[in-house]
Structure 1
Amino acid sequence: MKNAPSDVLVHHVYFWLHEPDSPDAREQMQRALEELSTIETIRYAHLGVPAATESRDVVDHSYTYSLMLFFDSKEDQDSYQIDSQHLQFVEENQHLWERVIVYDSVKW
């Protein structure tokens, strides 16, 4: 098994859009997420939608978009949180989502 360095911080964000079937809302959100993922302190980014996997009670396919970011350190993630590009992303796009959940994790 490949392991990430022990100080890596994973920031996983799930978005539920108000209008998940709106092409305009989806286009704006996708463009905004792509731009957001260019922030310098982000080591790796994965932008996604629910996978067409088997439906089981433990699998939640209800979200519209997933953003998974990997940072080299907590300090890099802290810097991302106050980066003007991140703040602009929230300000310009928060009207699109009805719910957001964030899971941050580090290696034990």
Structure 2
Amino acid sequence: MFIHSVYFWEREGLTRAERDEWLAGLRSLLTIESVRHGWLGTPAATDRPVIDRGYSYALVVAFDDEAGHDVYQDHPVHDVFRERCAKFWKKVLIYDATSLEA
């Protein structure tokens, strides 16, 4: 299993139409055939000192393996997302992880 976790910080001043376009772009990533499971959300209301709730959206995507992740990264849908939606965020952090189990 390969998990790709992406955290986006929204650029200030987006219109409703821009936010809708961005969310549609994020949802489009979950249609890529190598995605086994995908989830899109916002920060939970949990409040502890170790929790970073400063991001706007979280995208968590699971693949069978790193090869599936590579298909996702090189997919035309992903390319279109980056081209059309990069203007909507001011910061992005990505955490990739693989299973310890074989």
- Partner residue in 1 for 2:7: 14
CA RMSD, Structure 1 to Structure 2 (Å): 1.3
Work out the percentage of aligned pairs sharing the same amino acid: 37
One-letter code aligned to 1:50: P
Alignment correspondent of 1:64: 56
Q: Which runs of 5+ in 1 are unaligned?
A: 1-7
TM-score (norm 2): 0.91
Q: Distance in 2 between the 1:45 and 1:88 partners?
A: 18
Alignment of 1:47-62 (within 5 A): 47-53=40-46, 55-62=47-54
> What residue number does 1:3 align with?
none
Matched residue SS, 1:57: coil
User: What pairs up with 1:15-30 in 2 under 5 angstroms?
Assistant: 15-19=8-12, 22-30=15-23
Q: Return the alpha-carbon distance in structure 2 between the equivalents of residues 40 and 19 of structure 1.
A: 33
Residue type of the alignment partner of 1:39 = I
| TM-score w.r.t. length of structure 1 | 0.87
SS of residue in 1 equivalent to 2:92:
strand
